[in-house]
Structures are given as C-alpha cells and as structure tokens.
Structure 1
Amino acid sequence: MIILSKLIFLGTLGYLLKVRLRTLLAYFQQEEYDGARYIGALQTVRLYDVRASVVILVAVGLLMLNAPAIVLLIAAGALGAIAWMESKYRFKKPLAMTERARRIYMLAAALLVLPFLFSFYWTIFAVVAIQLAPFALIAANQMLAPFQQRINDKYIVEAREKLARMDPTRIGITGSFGKTTVKHILAEILEGSAPVFYSRGSINTVLGLTRHIRGRLQWSHKYFIAEMGAYGEGSIDRLCAFAQPNLGIVTAVGDAHTERFGSIDAIARAKSELVAYVCGNGGTSVINAEILRHAPFARLKEKYGARVITVGAENADVIVNAQPAAGGGWVIGLHWADGSQADVSFELPLLGDHNVMNAALAVVLTLHVDPDLLDDLPHFTKTVSQIPHRLQKVESAGAPLILDDAYNANELGFKSAVATLHDLAKERGGRAILVTPGVAELGLEHDTVHARLAKTCNAFCDTIYIVNPNRIRSFADGLDQTRVNVVEVASFFEARAKIDANITPQDVVLYENDLPDLLEEQRFL
C-alpha cells in the first residue's frame, strides 16, 4: 500500500511539472504574461484543475478506507490517462519555450516543490499544489521582472542605437484596424523607390521591433516602417520615443480593443499620439478623414494644417473613389483637392472594400515621400501580394474557395468580409459558409456589436458555424434560422470536420477571426 501511495505521489508530480504547468504556461504566454488578465482567464477558460484533483481526492479517501490495491492502481492509471490526454491537446498557438518562458517555468516549478513535498506525507497537499500552479507562474514572473527588464532594456538600447546609426526614413503606422495591411501594401510599393525594412506579421511593440531591428535591419534599408500597437494611452508615445518616426499613417479609430481602453475617446487619444509626435517634429501624417470626428484629430488638423493629409470619400484633402474589378479586386482613383498632385488611378488585387482605404493611405504617403513613383505606381499596386490571414484567397482546382480572414478583429472588416463572401459565392453558384467565434475585446459594446453583425450575416450567409456560441450569445440569438443554417460548434477543428463532410467545389468558406485558445473554447482540465 505504501508503494502504491508513493506511485500516486510520483505520478502526480510528473503530471504537475511535465504537463499541467506547461499547459498553464501556454495560456499565460498567450496573455503576454499579464497576471491580471491571466487571473481572469482562470475562470472564463476554466483553467483550474478538476480531473486530476478529483482522482487524487478519491485516492486519498480509498487509502483511508484501506481499499484494495487494485483500486489504487486504477487511480494511478487514471492520472496517467489524464496526463496523456492533456499532452495531446492541440493548441492553435502552442507554447514557445523562449528563454523567458523557460525561466518562468523553472522558477514556478521550484515554488511548487515545497507544497508538493508535503503530499509525500499528506496526499491532500498534491491537490493544493496543482491548484496553486497558475499562481506560481504569476509569482515567478513577478520575481523575475527586474531581471527581465534589465535584459529588455539592454536590447532596446542596442536596437535604438542601431536605428540611429543607419538613420532610414522612419514611418509609423497605427489604427484600431488595418495597420498590418497598410504596412504590407506600403512596403511593397515603396520598394520601387528603395529597399524597405518592416516588421513581419503583426509585430507592433517596442520589444517586437527591437528583436527585428537587431536581427534584420541593414545599411541598405532606406525606409523603416514600424507598425505601432496601443494597449492604452501612452503606448504610442513610447513607441515614438523609440522609433522616432518622420512620417505617420493612422488607419482608423474603432471599437476594436475597447475592453482594454474603456472607451472610443480613449482609443482616439491614444492613436492621435502618433500624429502629435510626427507633426510636432516637422513631419507629415496621412490619416483616414473619418477620424476627424474625434476631437484629438480635429485639433491636430487645425494646428498643423497641410502636414495632416486627410484621405476619404468626401470632404478630404485626397478624395477616393473605387469600382469593383473582375475577380474581387478594385480600380481605385485618387484626386488631390488642392491640385498639388495629378489624379491617380490604379488597380488593387485585394478583396474587401475596407482595403480601398488601406491602399489609398499607402499610396498617398508613397507619393508624398517619392513623387517620382507616380508613373510606375499602377505596376506596383497591381502586383501587391495577398496579406496572409487577412481576407486571403486560398484556391485549388476542384476544391471550394477558402477566404482566410483569421486575423480580423473589428466590426467593419467583419462586415466587409461577409459581403465579399456573398459576392464570390453568388459568382461561383455555391453556398456562402461562414465560420466565426465573433470579435474579441469589445468591452461594453460586445453584445451590441455582435447583434449588428448577426443582421449583416442574415443577409449574406447561407450557413454559419458559430464557434463557442456561449461567448457571443447576442450574435447566435440574432441569426434568423429560417433563412440561415446555423451550426454551433466548440472549436474550429470541429467546424472544419463538419464542413469537410458536406462541401462542394462551388462553395465559398470564410474563416472569420480565428481567436486564440484563451477565447475560443472553455476547457475541462
């Protein structure tokens, strides 16, 4: 009996350190090591342990009742089965065991040793140790924070000095949405002028830019494009102090990330920090004319005049008009209201009407930087590459058309993508199939936005797979099931399996906003 109890002890230790702690660290990393947000996730995603704790408690009870050895063997086997199943779980964003993650993991494991050692004598303490695991990660991160900050500061200084030595023309891009797409379009067009450096994917923080600058920036780069994300007021100011942009683009101010900021007004103030910095240092900013309705931008336009170039369908410095082109792209025209630039017309092969403004912003800044590109501009825009996971067409012969909009995170882009889905499905003679878990970080606007999205989907979709419907109940309840076939699923994996069993080559499938593991589904650990 003693041997069996020790077997359960060792099995629980292996489960805690080799499986449980790594699972929790993966979620902690997805929350960017933010302890407060992680604590919230413990409840919403159900990261507290249930299965192993119940097995251990049952085993303790059986030991007290002098249960037969076979029962304890079954308990030990159950722990092994739980550990095996958890180790096989497929994260969409698996744990990246970076040096920082490794340090947090090792220190958290050390912090759990003491409470777990007590379980050698009192097995109940194994349950205590398991339940303390997420808090051990938070504590380890806090304890390592000064050390981590010293490392970060060293790398940031190196990157800032390297950027200053090479001194390329620096362009900052921010906005509630569209900034990554604008960055990619701008980079491809500007390559016609000189080599361009830009951060890959959605890298938009000081540390992310630091890593790319230290590893990739070369003397040959004449332009440096920095995507700038904001997690609160002051975020853009810090990025500007680091990158010191000469030029800026602001794509939009919307309800994306309202949960972080608290209000649209706070978002507007945060995004305006880029314009204030650039124009305050003698540079020029190109902005979506719609954001002038927000007071911070209206004041900056009044203060800096022509150094803030507005782009819009009307009442703007540069007027945009667009017509759909064959295959889902656009023919876009630009007219400078003051006549300072000749009218421009170009083709854009990207889907979605929201990309009209994205392209217009990029082209206006390009011609401000290098007017000599005017004649070659139609060639560069016509060959702009699809941006991965941003309404990207995935086509193959004899297969349905896939629209990958996994990175979308705003109402405007969602509606644009669904409208594109409808048009392409009608063109192919197939069904318009939407797969979505909704939009994240909307704060108090969560239910209102999802109710509006449901109305749009009623008009444009034939079949909708709702991922984790309990998170977006207002969306699910707003769908008209007399017009739309609604299927509720727990995850994208389940949706794909159901779609594959009932799909035709004429159908079009839109994967809209693939949320991280933390938001997609609740777990039963």
Structure 2
Amino acid sequence: MSLFFALLPVVLGVPAFFEAYIYHLHMFQLNSYHNDMERKWLWKNKAAVLRLFLPCFLGVLLTVLGNLLFPQGAVYVTGSVFSLIFGGLALFFRYRRLTKKAKKPLVFTDRVKRLNLTSFLIFGAGVLALFLIPGFVKGDFVKNGWWALVFEGTITGIAPFFVLFANLLNKPVETGIRNRYIKEARTLLRENKNLQVIGITGSYGKTSVKFFLTTLLSAKHNVLCTPENYNTPMGVVKTVRENLSPLHEIFVCEMGARRVGEIKELCDLVHPRYGIITSVGPQHLETFLTQERVRKTKFELAKALPEEGFVCLNADSEELMKEDYKGRQVLYSLEGAGRGDYHAENVSVSSEGTSFTLVHNEERADFVTPVIGRHNVLNIVGALAMAHELGMSYEELYPQVRKLQSVPHRLQLLDRGNVALIDDAYNSNPTGAKAALDTLALFKGFRILVTPGMVELGEKMEECNRTFGKQAAKACDYAILVGKRQAEPILQGLLEGGFPKEKIYVAETIGEAISVAYSLPTGGEKPIILLENDLPDNY
C-alpha cells in the first residue's frame, strides 16, 4: 500500500506538468514569443499564476518537511496531498482546454517544436539528476521517491517560467534561423531589380488600405502584398520567400510596430520607394508609452524613402500632421477641402454601400463601392491617391473601386439569414470603434452591440472605453459586454449616456455573448449585430 501512495502522485505529476506547460506555451505564442510581453502578461494575470504555484509550493514544502521530520509515515500524507494537487491541476487544465474553445489555438510551428524539444531536454536532465541521488533507484522507492515529487511539484509550479527559460536557451538558435531567412529574403528582393515596394503603416487602417491598394493596382500591374495582417519582419520574410516571383512588379508591404525602431527594421529589409502613413493614434501605448514616440516610429517609413519617392499622409490625423517632414508628401483627407491633395466630397454611406466624389486639383471623379463605413472612404481615398500618383487613370480605377470588398473582420457585413452581422472583430481602436457605431446607426432594425472593449491603450484605456460606452448609448438598442474586468468602463459610459441598465448584459465569453444576441426578443425587427473587437485568449 505504501508503494501505491509513493507511485500514484509521481504518475499523476506527468500529465499535470504537461497540461500546465501546454497552456502557458499557448499564451507565450499569443504574446509573440517575446519574454518581456509574457512577463507583463504573467504579472497582469498573477492570480492565475498563483493558483498554479501555491498548491505546488505547499505540496513541495509538506513533502520536504514530512520526509525530514517523519520519514516513516510521510509517504501516506504526501502521496495523498500530491495526488490531489496533480490530479486536480491535470483535470483543470484538460477540462479548460476541451471546453473553452480557443479563438486562436496553439499552432505547432517549427519554433514551437524547437521549444518543446528544449523543454523535453530540460525535463530529461531533471529526471537524470534524480537517478544520481544515492539510493533512488536501487534503494527503497517508498523511502526515496519523494525526491521525484519535489522535482515534479517544482517544475509544474513554475511552468510559466519554464517556457521562458526554454525560450532563453533557444535564443542563439532562433537568432541564427531568423538571420538566415532574412538574408534569403533580401537576396530575392535584390534580384528582382524592377520591383517597386510600397510600405504602409499606421496605428489603424493600414491593413484595409493595403488590400484596397492591391485591388486598384492589380488592374494594371502584377502585385504581391503581405497576406492577412502579416506586418512583422518574419511575416514579411515569409511572404517574400514563399510568394515573390520575378513577374511581380509591385510589392505592397504592411508594416507594424510596437516599439521605436521596428518600422526602420522593416524598411532596411524591403527598401520601400513609396509609402502611406494612415494614422497615428493611441494603439500600443503600453509599449510606446507616448503618442509622440508612435508618430516618430511611423515616420521611420517616410525617412527611409529615396529622393524620387513620396509618402501619402492622412491629413485628418491631427497627431500625424504634427510631424515636420520635409520630403515629398501627398496629403489625403475625408471631406477636407484645402487640407489634402486628394479629398472626398458628397460622401453617402448606407447599409447597401458607399458613394463619394474624389477631388484632386480641378479634377472630380465619382466612385461607388460595396464597402460600408464612412471611415473606409478615407482608406479608399488614400489608396486612390497612391494609385493615381503612380500613373493609373480614373477610367482604370472606376471598375476596381466597384470590386473592393470589406477586409475580413474589419467592418465586414455578413448575411446570416434572419440576422445581419457587422464583423469588426479585429483590433479595435477609438477611431474605428466610433466609425463602427456610426455605421450601425445607419441600419434599420434591432441594433445589438457585442464588445469586450479596447486594449493596449496604456493609461488611456479606461477613458477610451468609457467614451466608447457613451457613444454606444446613442447607436444601439441592446449592449452585450464581454468580460467583467474589461466591461466595467464601457458599462459606466453606457449608463452615463442614459442607456437603460436592463438592456445591458455582461457575458463571460464571446461565444456566450453571441448566443445571447441571437436569442434576444426583437419585437419583429431584424437583428443587426455589431461585433466590435474580439480579444485573443491571453486577455
């Protein structure tokens, strides 16, 4: 019987560690494999970290003290306690993984596989160390097996930091692989001598402008663009290595950044000739700290352009216009006559689509597009400005604007039978959220807002979410907020805006929120659901 109590917790310790490790590996991937971002996440979610660490720590402490003070009978107590701890942790993480469907599941990339290999080697080294303990193998396992419990309890309790340590050990290997891939991408770009590169950056709007511009230019050129929201060095490198061919004439490259210098790093990689800066806003203030640093980083693109190049700037972005840039610039704006070289007039937005007049110097051109949202007119004008400056005529651009489609998860109108869903789930920001609410207000029917609010706004996060709540009070008939912690400022804003408290529901998950939205009585009106932002699993 004593052997059973000695072996059972040791066996249960393996799945307990494995489940905890997989969960924190997933969070590490969502934090872009950055140790500093993961540490911030761990601090922000320290309650969850302590729920893992404390029972393991207490189990280890009990095991050590018990076997030092009461070596004869400790196996029954420590075996029972650790069986409960390991069994409980394994079941908890397993149940969580099976029942709480991840919005963005763990992807077993080559990098994750290398992390797993390093973690396995560390685990193996720990097991080997156990076998070096005198009497552990040939002696009495009932007497000496508690060392295995101490080892398993320790590595399970520190599983979040175990992942960080494995990543730290892998850094030289990852740096070597990264540099090799970057070198290959640079060679491919250099060999394509006639390729013109257009860099696009901004706090928001850059992905939409990228896809709009690619559609416009495709009428006349063979165009490659970075897919989805690929905007990091390795995302760009992957695009170049896997998709660039000698036939491509233009490469439209989205450029993202969380820190000063990251746009310059991308420019040093692809060497853009032209650029578009869509906006400067409070996105990623947690890492940038100030909007001035955001602006300086975005203008790293403009400063990297050659003399014959130019940059298109959104003249409606006040923070963007604060920069004293001396190079050639083309300004665009939304109904901003006198502020932009290109601006829109007579903007008409409905649930069916959008029409507007593009004005450039003395020229006027009328455009119609199925894309909805007033702010998308600004994005289209930015794309039109670049395409026109590169030599495309309005006659070539008319049919292309009619072909434009909403970018997935960016104010995308989806028909769900009896329900209209406005999917604006990607990376919400104050300007985009306001525009989404304005679009929702255009629809006739029972208007439902589903949102967890906005993140990564630094000290402005609470203020921006409260303002968003006040704006939402005027645009929707029912509000479903996701996550109690995130929802509080929005809830306050809704109430301050005079929104009825009985028409507010706080859900735990986005799935629950959508289910509630579909089940609401609408009095015979067609439900229109605006999904504004959808936070990943690490929020």
1:285 corresponds in structure 2 to 311
Q: Aligned partners of 1:362, 1:478: CA distance in 2, in Å?
A: 35
**In the alignment, is the contact (CA less than 8 A) between 1:322 and 1:332 conserved in 2?**
yes
**In the alignment, is the contact (CA less than 8 A) between 2:9 and 2:79 conserved in 1?**
no
- State whether structure 2 residue 333 is matched by structure 1 residue 333: no
The SS at the match of 1:134 is: helix
1:141 corresponds in structure 2 to 167
**In the alignment, is the contact (CA less than 8 A) between 2:353 and 2:370 conserved in 1?**
yes
1:485-517 deviation per Cα after TM superposition (whole angstroms, max 9, x unaligned)? 111111102212322332557011111111111
The SS at the match of 1:404 is: strand
2:414 corresponds in structure 1 to 394
Name whichever of 252-261 and 323-332 sits farther off.
323-332
Over the aligned positions, Cα root-mean-square deviation in angstroms equals 2.6
**In the alignment, is the contact (CA less than 8 A) between 1:172 and 1:249 conserved in 2?**
yes
Q: Aligned partners of 1:202, 1:161: CA distance in 2, in Å?
A: 24
Name whichever of 8-17 and 49-58 sits farther off.
49-58
1:416 corresponds in structure 2 to 435
1:522 corresponds in structure 2 to none
**In the alignment, is the contact (CA less than 8 A) between 2:343 and 2:381 conserved in 1?**
no
* Pairs within 5 Å for 1:251-266: 251-266=278-293
Shift of 1:127: 2.7
* Pairs within 5 Å for 1:304-383: 304=327, 307-312=328-333, 313-314=336-337, 315-337=339-361, 339=362, 342-371=363-392, 373-383=393-403
1:92 corresponds in structure 2 to 103
Shift of 1:191: 0.6
Q: Aligned partners of 1:310, 1:197: CA distance in 2, in Å?
A: 25
**In the alignment, is the contact (CA less than 8 A) between 2:451 and 2:534 conserved in 1?**
yes
What is the TM-score when the length of structure 2 is the normalising length?
A: 0.87
The SS at the match of 2:490 is: helix
Name whichever of 74-83 and 171-180 sits farther off.
74-83
Name whichever of 226-235 and 36-45 sits farther off.
36-45
1:459 corresponds in structure 2 to 474
Shift of 1:274: 1.1
Shift of 1:47: 4.1
**In the alignment, is the contact (CA less than 8 A) between 2:16 and 2:87 conserved in 1?**
no
**In the alignment, is the contact (CA less than 8 A) between 1:169 and 1:246 conserved in 2?**
yes
Q: Aligned partners of 2:382, 2:31: CA distance in 1, in Å?
A: 32
Structure 2 segments unaligned to the other structure (5+ residues): 67-72, 131-143
Q: Residues 4 and 221 of structure 1: is their aligned pair in 2 closer, same or farther, counting only changes over 3 Å? A: same
**In the alignment, is the contact (CA less than 8 A) between 1:115 and 1:129 conserved in 2?**
no
1:8-39 deviation per Cα after TM superposition (whole angstroms, max 9, x unaligned)? 2111112212x211111000011111112212
Q: Aligned partners of 1:66, 1:238: CA distance in 2, in Å?
A: 59
Shift of 1:265: 0.8
Q: Aligned partners of 2:168, 2:176: CA distance in 1, in Å?
A: 14
Q: Aligned partners of 1:110, 1:281: CA distance in 2, in Å?
A: 53
Q: Aligned partners of 1:216, 1:41: CA distance in 2, in Å?
A: 34
**In the alignment, is the contact (CA less than 8 A) between 1:174 and 1:227 conserved in 2?**
yes
1:61-104 deviation per Cα after TM superposition (whole angstroms, max 9, x unaligned)? 89738469999877775455335314414211111111111111
Q: Aligned partners of 1:287, 1:71: CA distance in 2, in Å?
A: 64
Q: Aligned partners of 1:293, 1:37: CA distance in 2, in Å?
A: 27
Aligned partner (choices 464, 469, 494) of residue 479 of structure 1: 494
2:153 corresponds in structure 1 to 127
Q: Residues 201 and 69 of structure 1: is their aligned pair in 2 closer, same or farther, counting only changes over 3 Å? A: closer
Shift of 1:237: 1.1
1:413-453 deviation per Cα after TM superposition (whole angstroms, max 9, x unaligned)? 001111211221xx2xx321111111111001112111211
One-letter code of the match for 1:413?
G
Aligned partner (choices 206, 209, 217) of residue 244 of structure 2: 217
Structure 1 segments unaligned to the other structure (5+ residues): 520-525
* Higher RCO (C-alpha 8 Å, min separation 6): 1
2:135 corresponds in structure 1 to none
**Greater CA radius of gyration, 1 or 2?**
2
2:140 corresponds in structure 1 to none
Q: Residues 419 and 154 of structure 1: is their aligned pair in 2 closer, same or farther, counting only changes over 3 Å? A: same
One-letter code of the match for 2:382?
L
Q: Residues 55 and 196 of structure 1: is their aligned pair in 2 closer, same or farther, counting only changes over 3 Å? A: same
The share of aligned pairs that are identical, in percent, is: 26
The SS at the match of 2:237 is: helix
One-letter code of the match for 1:230?
A
* Pairs within 5 Å for 1:53-92: 54=55, 64=74, 66=76, 78=88, 81-88=91-98, 89-92=100-103
The SS at the match of 1:282 is: coil
Aligned partner (choices 266, 273, 284) of residue 246 of structure 1: 273
1:445 corresponds in structure 2 to 460
